[in-house]
Amino acid sequence: MTYVAAGDRYGPMPYHRTGRSGLKLPAVSLGLWHNFGDDKPLDSQRAILRRAFDRGVTHFDLANNYGPPYGSAETNFGRIFAEDFRPYRDELVLSTKAGWDMWPGPYGEFGSRKYLLASLDQSLARMGVDYIDIFYSHRFDPETPLEETMGALDYAVRSGKALYAGISSYSPERTAEAARILREMGTPLLIHQPSYSMLNRWIEGGLLDTLEAEGVGCIAFSPLAQGMLTDRYLGGIPEGSRASQGKSLDPGLLTDESLRHVRTLNEIAKQRGQTLAQMALAWALRDKRVTSVLIGASSVQQLDDSLSAVERLDFSAEELDAIDKNAVEAGIDLWRGSSTS
């Protein structure tokens, strides 16, 4: 059936200004890291994307190697975009990234101008769009001059293939350097995409201060700690979960100590009238420097649960204190190497 977006889609969802730019993003954005590859039915992908937009999610976030296989998330999104969302293109913020391994050989990863711009062209073709709203350097490349990497982002914007430039998993020091280089080129750094959750709080150690000083927005990925901050693992490792399949969550991280903290956080969420996932998302948004949080969804039901987090974003001092005692490092930062370089 022909998709017609809900007339009341701009309702409860808050929209936050991205740093000092003119661009606003929804408090909760949808990431296509998981659940949009060829291993998932296209109809379920379509249902999730439609429901997200109907509930005010205007930002869809991708990367060149999302799948599986690599590239398939962009291809599948492109099919759905062409059939459902093309009339709404000007209401959408689409982003993609390049930096991690994508194709064989020396030009298929990291931060060279050759790789980034070739990847961008491929992403545009797979998604079937003329431009991307945000194009990211997906990780810092210690062997390529930062001027070259940022120069590629500047060219992407000046060529009209992207509207804004972003970076992901850069340290505070490299972020400040990247912002300076882009500013001198005349293409301000719009946004940083770091991992951030109750169990992975590294951005509180300087990155948020840097982003505030530079006027750069922040969109947090993995705010649910790859599923640890949901009710999925409260009673162990269920069949079919990421941990059981070895997908981005090492079952060895689900220690008795970590689960004790997670169960306490779940009790706090219950007292607030929220699910653990809803409270975790609201908590990540408590700092006004965090523009948006990126969620994944394997079903419309899971999506709806996460999006309902915006119905309760306030915290009392007592709640924050209780959360702080249990929001502890759990060793789940898979991207630490890039963000400390």
Report pLDDT digits (tens) over 66-114: 999 999 999 999 999 999 999 999 999 999 999 999 999 999 999 999 9
Does residue 208 have a pLDDT over 70? yes
Query: Could you tell me which residues come within 8 angstroms of residue 90 by beta carbon, excluding any fewer than 6 positions away?
Result: none
Predicted confidence band at 244 (pLDDT cuts at 50, 70, 90)? very low
Which of the 8 DSSP states describes residue 84?
A: I
Question: Mean pLDDT in the chain?
Answer: 94
Q: Is 59 helix (H, G, I), strand (E, B) or coil?
A: strand
Q: Retrieve residue 319's tokens.
A: 């709640």
Predicted confidence band at 341 (pLDDT cuts at 50, 70, 90)? confident
* Tens digit of each residue's pLDDT (9 = 90 or more) over 302-324: 999 999 999 999 999 999 999 99
Mean of the pLDDT values across residues 13-42? Answer: 98
- Under a CB-based contact definition with an 8 Å cutoff, are residues 266 and 234 in contact? yes
Q: Which residues pair with 17 in a beta bridge?
A: 24
Q: Which residues pair with 102 in a beta bridge?
A: none
- Tell me if the pTM is above 0.85: yes
Rounded-to-integer distance, Cα 121 and Cα 116, Å? 9
Q: Where are the alpha helices (DSSP H) in the chain?
A: 42-54, 72-80, 113-127, 146-158, 172-185, 207-214, 242-245, 256-272, 276-284, 300-307, 317-324, 336-339
Residues in the chain, total: 341
